[in-house]
Amino acid sequence: MLYRRLGRTELEVSELAYGAARGASQDPHGFIATVHACIDAGINFIDSAAGYDGGNSERTLGEALAGQDDVLVETKYCPYESYRVGAAYVGDPAELVASAEESLRRLRRDHLDVFLAHGMRTLESLDRFMSDGCYEAMLGLREQGKVRFIGISELSEGDGTHEVLKQAVPSGAFDVVMLTINLMLQTAEETVIPLCGAHDVGTVVMMPLNQSSGRSGLTSLPAALELVRHYIAAGQLPDEPPYTDADLLEFLEPYPVPEAAIRYVLSHDVSTCCVGTRSPERLQANLRAIDSPYLDEQRLRRLGELFGRIRWQAF
């Protein structure tokens, strides 16, 4: 396992991280086994959130991480009524603090390594978060030692060109951001990633497989081709060859689509790529992607030619 610097936090994080959004309720034993397999593989950064799996993600992580104090945990507070793109902003400083303290109890920890505002999706709600006491509450948690570093995550379904992060990063307010970049949503490549480098902000990549559903995403070749069809239907790609060709992604071989997707992310100047691995077996497949130089320039250039025009995430 290779490690990268998480911006000005100076934390050294594994370039592959574990995304713990799903699985804790459906298969807690499998979830714990996967966490332990991640740790055995050298993964030292795990992402969760208060709202994941009704709190069971954090709760089961707390069980899995007993005695693993060296593993870094990132979790989040959502200042919206739901994860929907148009959900109302309901940020409240007291609720933010309560959420962080409940996360600490579920995770069985005395501090959170990284604490994020979850899914910041509009400039208006970012302004509200910064002025209504929520940001000051985050600073207070950091001053008390309950949180080491603070940041925000975006909602790329509603902000595919990263307008929120383009304003937040230069402000100096946040140590870490969680952003989306994948081989079919490349907009961060020329905007947010260089901005984070210039301001020494840590970058945690989410949704490298395009937050796939059971029908589309970057989890297999058929699912990836279905995702392309979604982008065609949404008017973001033309309904013509090569996008309608069955061999559209043949140039990625010999890499399977999921491995190529992770390799694409790791070829960029990001701190870590967070993958929602569901089993130790799937983890072993993902680990094949941590092989520098990840993807060659020819494949990267072709991906840019094919999908660089996409401006928001489809499923």
CATH of the domain at 116: 3.20.20.100
Tell me what the mean pLDDT of segment 105-129 comes to: 97
| Entry pTM | 0.96
**Full residue range of the structural domain in which residue 170 is found:** 10-307
Buried-state track 278-309, b at ≥16 Cβ within 10 A, e below 16: bebebbeebbebbeeebbeeebbeebeebbee
With 80 as the cut, is the pLDDT of residue 121 above it?
yes
Tell me what the mean pLDDT of segment 305-314 comes to: 92
Total residues belonging to the chain: 315
Alpha-carbon distance of 187 to 193, in angstroms, equals 9
Kindly state whether residue 4 falls inside one of the protein's structural domains: no
Locus of tokens 């298969």? 27
Kindly state whether residue 159 falls inside one of the protein's structural domains: yes
DSSP letter at 88?
P
With 90 as the cut, is the pLDDT of residue 6 above it?
yes
Q: Which two tokens stand for residue 282?
A: 């799937």
- Taking each helix axis as running N to C, give the angle between helix 257-266 and helix 297-307, from 0 to 180 degrees, rounded to the nearest 10: 100
Please confirm whether the linkage preceding 258 is cis (ω < 30° from 0). Answer: no
CB of 64 within 8 A of CB of 36? yes
What is the predicted pLDDT for the residue at 278?
83
What is the predicted pLDDT for the residue at 216?
75
pLDDT tens sequence across 253-274: 999 999 999 999 999 999 999 9
pLDDT tens sequence across 185-243: 999 999 999 999 999 999 999 999 987 666 679 999 999 999 999 999 999 999 999 99
Kindly state whether residue 173 falls inside one of the protein's structural domains: yes
Q: Which two tokens stand for residue 222?
A: 């058929």
Enumerate residues 6+ apart whose C-beta is below 8 A from 22: 52, 53, 57, 276, 278
Average pLDDT of every residue of the chain: 95
What is the predicted pLDDT for the residue at 264?
98
Backbone angles phi and psi of 226, in degrees to 5: -65, -40
- Percentage of the chain surpassing pLDDT 70? 98
Give the residue from 256, 262, 250 showing the smallest Cα distance to 294: 262
Alpha-carbon distance of 315 to 312, in angstroms, equals 10
Kindly state whether residue 21 falls inside one of the protein's structural domains: yes
Show the beta-strand stretches assigned E in the chain: 3-5, 12-14, 16-19, 45-47, 72-77, 112-120, 147-154, 176-180, 202-206, 272-275
Kindly state whether residue 241 falls inside one of the protein's structural domains: yes
Give the residue from 289, 290, 296 showing the smallest Cα distance to 257: 289
Which helix (H) or strand (E) segment holds residue 123: the answer is helix 123-131
Alpha-carbon distance of 123 to 127, in angstroms, equals 6
pLDDT tens sequence across 72-113: 999 999 999 998 899 999 999 999 999 999 999 999 999 999
Across-strand partners of 60? none
What is the predicted pLDDT for the residue at 214?
62
Kindly state whether residue 5 falls inside one of the protein's structural domains: no
With 90 as the cut, is the pLDDT of residue 7 above it?
yes
Give the residue from 171, 169, 155 showing the smallest Cα distance to 120: 155
Kindly state whether residue 258 falls inside one of the protein's structural domains: yes
CB of 275 within 8 A of CB of 209? yes
Q: How many structural domains is the chain composed of?
A: 1
Kindly state whether residue 108 falls inside one of the protein's structural domains: yes
